[in-house]
Chain A
Amino acid sequence: MRIGLLIRLIVLVVLLVFLIHPDTFAGFFALFAKAGQPPIYNQGSLLDITLNHLAIVLTATVASTIIAVGLAILVTRPFGAEFLPLSRSLANVGQTFPPVAVLALAVPVLGFGTAPTLVALFLYGLLPIFENTLTGLTNLPPAVTDAAKGVGMTGWQRLLKVELPLALPVILSGIRLSTVISLATATIGSTVAARTLGEVIIAGLTANNTAFVLQGGLIVGVLAVLIYDALSALERFLMARTGQLGRAAA
């Protein structure tokens, strides 16, 4: 655990140094560039592009979370139960639709830029969060939900004081999946001129510069691993905080 934490810290520091002073690594990336090609991406600040990439992912994931969790809450209430199949297939369609196809369809309506990418990521991110929220809200220990009713909590009180807090770790793991998928998928947004790290990869591919491709890919990969780890740690903390660590292990 300690060593793992140390490695993650070192990786984070290396990433930050690279983003702020990419030239520090020029020597390393020169190994992958052909003679005469620039070893470091030179058509914009890597830091800016990365921050923009993260902002797009964050916006899309927050939107997916709000809608997916909202829907899951709705269909697990007694009055919303009949919408369960409908909302399930809706979220499934969002997942099966390839993001590239969403981009192609969204561009004529929304134009080039960030908007179609946000739509694609939003749709793509719905299902994992929705499914996990459903699982979390429906797989609570029966004795606990029975007790929540028996002590005289109203429907909303049960949701806010018992069901959501206990389902939170499971919901969070859905958000984690969705975030990591979005982080990687966002790169294709650059094909419709969204400012993401895909830009760096595409520039590398068109100029036949492996160093660029590597830079774009590495940043996305490292970000994904770090964010995945951080959210996993948060989940474990919440499991322990809500007294469910034993339940999860059992």
Chain B
Amino acid sequence: MIEIDDITKIYGETAVVDRVSLVIDPGTICVIVGTSGSGKTTLMRMINKLVDQTSGAIRIDGEDIAGIPAYELRRRIGYAIQGHGLFPHRTVGQNIATVPKLLGWDKAKIADRVEELLTLFQLDPAQYRDRLPNELSGGQQQRVGVARALAAKPNILLMDEPYGALDPVIRAKAQEDLLAVQRQFETTIVLVTHDMEEAIHLGTKIAVMDKGKLLQHDVPQQIIANPSTPFVAELIGSAERPFRLLSLGKVADHIEPGEVAGTPLDAGVSLRDAYAELLWSGRPALPVTRDGKVIGQVTLAQLARLAARPQ
């Protein structure tokens, strides 16, 4: 659990982060979203002491981080950034091994961990372990960056616009990978982004920041349905609201009995994708399948109700 308690950071005259309090539950993903200059990155960087706060306190599992030496704290917290920040003179394997080596793990254990992580991120160890980062594609570099951040099995992972430099297709894949890894290890993730779409997709909770202040910290449904200020509403985009709301649900949870004709949808797709498919096919309903078997139908009328503003 990360407790951010009334934290302020002042540069010169301006409060870049202004009296922010935030509790991030263990095993959840907290996405801090805001425009550039909102203080979101500064807030995140105070968690691993890359920035020292002017006032306030941060506690990790109850322990005030002020009492932990910065380098020791950082070895306990994974850190992945935009543009990956891989060490260009070290191989992929050496990059991933950075923190375990700093912690003094023995060689065999490090080698096993590197192999495990490369496999987890779908990079064949034999093929990629000894390559230099500049011999990898952007998406691969980004995966190695996250693998390095996770190497010493940290409970907390900080990510600063990790997907900013990736094209949309690779970004979507990277996001799915992250969600899978997060579910597997139950890592607490704090992710900074300016992209509300990404925030809604990844966040267990979303923290919206503007001009150093925390405007709202809530689950995506609430952020979409009840934005606390006009700025939050603007970030979400009023025209996008129904679709964003739909994107949070899965077809599996809204299947109605009945059999209809048409190209079947898989139960795992999001309601938004299902809605798009219904509109595109021009039908009022489509069959839903799970593992190839038809298990019911999803209707346009039902989705339209779900997309309406929650009462």
Q: Do they bind each other? A: yes
Residues of A within 8 A of B (CB): 141, 143-144, 146-154, 157, 161-162, 165-166, 241-247
- Are B133 and A154 interface neighbours, CB within 8 A? no
The answer to whether B125 has its CB under 8 Å from any CB of chain A is no
**How far, in whole Å, are A246 and B133 apart by their CA atoms in the complex?**
11
- Are A150 and B79 interface neighbours, CB within 8 A? yes
- Are A144 and B48 interface neighbours, CB within 8 A? no
Additional A-B contact list (7), CB under 8 Å, known A152-B71, A244-B89: A141-B85, A143-B84, A149-B74, A241-B89, A242-B88, A243-B132, A246-B134
- Are A247 and B88 interface neighbours, CB within 8 A? yes
The smallest C-beta distance from B162 to any residue of chain A, in angstroms, reads 12
- Are B83 and A152 interface neighbours, CB within 8 A? no
- Are A147 and B86 interface neighbours, CB within 8 A? yes
- Are B88 and A151 interface neighbours, CB within 8 A? no
The smallest C-beta distance from B299 to any residue of chain A, in angstroms, reads 49
Find chain B residues with CB under 8 A from A246 CB. Answer: 134
Find chain A residues with CB under 8 A from B72 CB. Answer: 152
The answer to whether B276 has its CB under 8 Å from any CB of chain A is no
9 closest A-B pairs (Cβ-Cβ)? A147-B85, A152-B74, A152-B75, A150-B79, A242-B89, A243-B88, A143-B85, A243-B132, A143-B83
- Are B99 and A152 interface neighbours, CB within 8 A? yes
- Are A151 and B81 interface neighbours, CB within 8 A? no
- Are B85 and A146 interface neighbours, CB within 8 A? yes
A241 (CB) vs chain B CBs: closest residue: B89
The smallest C-beta distance from A167 to any residue of chain B, in angstroms, reads 10
The smallest C-beta distance from A136 to any residue of chain B, in angstroms, reads 13
A151 in contact with B98 given A166-B89, A244-B89 (CB within 8 Å): yes
- Are A150 and B134 interface neighbours, CB within 8 A? no
**How far, in whole Å, are A75 and B39 apart by their CA atoms in the complex?**
31
Find chain B residues with CB under 8 A from A143 CB. Answer: 81-85
Interface centre among A143, A146, A147, A152 (most CB of B within 10 A): A152
- Are B88 and A150 interface neighbours, CB within 8 A? no
The smallest C-beta distance from A157 to any residue of chain B, in angstroms, reads 7
User: Which residues of chain B (42-89) have a CB below 8 Å from chain A?
Assistant: 48, 50, 70-76, 79, 81-89
**How far, in whole Å, are A51 and B102 apart by their CA atoms in the complex?**
45
**How far, in whole Å, are A244 and B48 apart by their CA atoms in the complex?**
29
Q: Mark B78-112, 1 if CB is under 8 A from A, else 0.
A: 01011111111100000000110010000000000
User: Could you show 28 A-B contacts with beta carbons less than 8 Å apart?
Assistant: A141-B85, A141-B88, A143-B84, A144-B85, A144-B88, A146-B81, A147-B79, A147-B84, A147-B86, A147-B145, A150-B79, A150-B85, A151-B102, A152-B70, A152-B74, A152-B76, A152-B99, A152-B102, A154-B71, A166-B88, A166-B89, A242-B89, A243-B88, A243-B89, A243-B133, A243-B134, A243-B135, A244-B134
The answer to whether B194 has its CB under 8 Å from any CB of chain A is no
A151 in contact with B75 given A143-B81, A246-B134 (CB within 8 Å): yes
Residues of B within 8 A of A (CB): 48, 50, 70-76, 79, 81-89, 98-99, 102, 132-135, 145, 148, 158
The smallest C-beta distance from B158 to any residue of chain A, in angstroms, reads 8
Find chain B residues with CB under 8 A from A150 CB. Answer: 48, 50, 74, 79, 81, 85, 158
B98 (CB) vs chain A CBs: closest residue: A151
- Are B102 and A153 interface neighbours, CB within 8 A? yes
The smallest C-beta distance from B192 to any residue of chain A, in angstroms, reads 13
A144 (CB) vs chain B CBs: closest residue: B85
A153 in contact with B71 given A143-B84, A242-B89, A244-B89 (CB within 8 Å): yes
Find chain A residues with CB under 8 A from B135 CB. Answer: 243
**How far, in whole Å, are A146 and B82 apart by their CA atoms in the complex?**
11
**How far, in whole Å, are A152 and B89 apart by their CA atoms in the complex?**
18
A148 in contact with B74 given A143-B81, A157-B102 (CB within 8 Å): no
- Are B81 and A147 interface neighbours, CB within 8 A? yes
Find chain A residues with CB under 8 A from B73 CB. Answer: 152
- Are B102 and A146 interface neighbours, CB within 8 A? no
**How far, in whole Å, are A18 and B148 apart by their CA atoms in the complex?**
57
- Are A162 and B50 interface neighbours, CB within 8 A? no
A151 in contact with B74 given A146-B50, A243-B89, A243-B133 (CB within 8 Å): yes
Find chain A residues with CB under 8 A from B86 CB. Answer: 144, 147
**How far, in whole Å, are A243 and B102 apart by their CA atoms in the complex?**
22
Find chain B residues with CB under 8 A from A151 CB. Answer: 74-75, 79, 98-99, 102, 148
The smallest C-beta distance from B79 to any residue of chain A, in angstroms, reads 4
**How far, in whole Å, are A241 and B87 apart by their CA atoms in the complex?**
12
The smallest C-beta distance from A11 to any residue of chain B, in angstroms, reads 33
Find chain B residues with CB under 8 A from A242 CB. Answer: 88-89
A155 (CB) vs chain B CBs: closest residue: B71
**How far, in whole Å, are A245 and B148 apart by their CA atoms in the complex?**
23
The smallest C-beta distance from A231 to any residue of chain B, in angstroms, reads 19
B83 (CB) vs chain A CBs: closest residue: A143
Find chain B residues with CB under 8 A from A148 CB. Answer: 87
